[in-house]
Amino acid sequence: MKALVTGAAGFIGSHCAERLKAMNFEVIGIDNFSPYYSPDLKNRNAKSLEKVGIPIEIIDLRKPEDFKKIPTDFNYIFHFAAQPGIAATSTFEDYLMNNLVATKNLMDFALSCKDLKLFTNISTSSIYGLRATLTEDAAPEPASLYGVTKLAAEQLVLAKAREHKLKSCSLRLFSVYGPRERPEKLYTKLIGCGFFHQEFPLFDGSEAHVRSFTFVDDIIDGVVSVIGKEDLVDGEVINLGTEQEHTTGEGMAIVEEILDTKIRKEVVAKRGGDQMFTKANINKARKLLNYNPTTTLKEGLGKQIEWYRKEFVD
């Protein structure tokens, strides 16, 4: 079996590519090495993948001509590439082109893959809005450009399933953390501040936000479980995350406990569109995918801290 993973040099995509390789898939990764954050970090991920036999092609999904660089004999496509988060530095055009136009181009490519069994779109709990606690059939209320464009991309993918042109599904992920987490994300930034005795910028009020913080390995368990269940998941939206709830403050306290240090914090202005409450409702994932995340927040953060220590401290 052969799989294509987009955004393979990124955080979650790189973990998925490695898991597929361990499952004896032939895996090709693609990434445009966007400067959204330091390309050096993506290069680290790419080198790790190449060491286990996963080539990374530099391809920009916004450019249809770039698809000529890769073959069309894929059995599975896992689409992680996106303009992430709610950063103030990202424009509407960034979200539009990287989340919607890029997905449209990838779908056109997927239709040329005659042996494709399933197109898996990786989506986000941000689609639900400021309080992400709902089931998959609830009306979305995205409150950010990121959530709006990810919802549009999701519907673009599912439209092909409704037209019976392509088997596809969309997985909405909840607050993923772990080794290789992006540098602007909560725990990587917090851990770095702890190791290097720097001040952590804390968004006003965010320590009270409640999250389904989900360890990346548990997320990948759910992602790869769609394999072999093509008829079951075709046209479906499925939440992936943990049912455990923690405030951001609780997570920060766990990091400080493991590092045995008190991290200085500077309160900064709130971010528009930041979610206040997320709790993954995974009844559907349990039923369709036998999904069962088990990693506690303390276990996962311990692993992330060890990764950070090896990569940037030792």
Q: Quick check: helix, strand or coil at residue 8? A: coil
* pLDDT tens track for 199-217: 999 988 889 999 999 999 9
Task: State residue 144's pLDDT score.
Answer: 93
* pLDDT tens track for 131-160: 999 999 999 999 999 999 999 999 999 999
State the CB neighbour count (10 A cutoff) for residue 108: 11
In the predicted structure, residue 98 carries a pLDDT above the cut 90 = yes
Q: Quick check: helix, strand or coil at residue 82? A: coil
Cβ–Cβ < 8 Å for 118, 230: yes
Cβ–Cβ < 8 Å for 188, 308: yes
Virtual CA dihedral for 281, 186, 252, 122, nearest 10 degrees? 20
In the predicted structure, residue 290 carries a pLDDT above the cut 80 = yes
Helix axes 186-196, 248-259, angle to 10 degrees: 30
- Domain ranges (residues) in the chain: 2-174+215-241+279-294
The pLDDT-based confidence of 88 (bands split at 50, 70, 90) is: confident
Sole residue written with tokens 């008829």: 231
Instruction: Kindly tell me the sign of the dihedral angle through the C-alpha atoms of 173, 179, 182, 187.
Output: positive
The pLDDT-based confidence of 179 (bands split at 50, 70, 90) is: very high
In the predicted structure, residue 38 carries a pLDDT above the cut 90 = no
In the predicted structure, residue 35 carries a pLDDT above the cut 90 = no
Per-residue pLDDT averaged across 95-114, rounded? Answer: 98
The pLDDT-based confidence of 89 (bands split at 50, 70, 90) is: confident
**Positions marked active-site:** 146
Q: 131 or 225: whose pLDDT is higher?
A: 225
Check if CATH label 3.40.50.720 holds for domain 2-174+215-241+279-294. Answer: yes
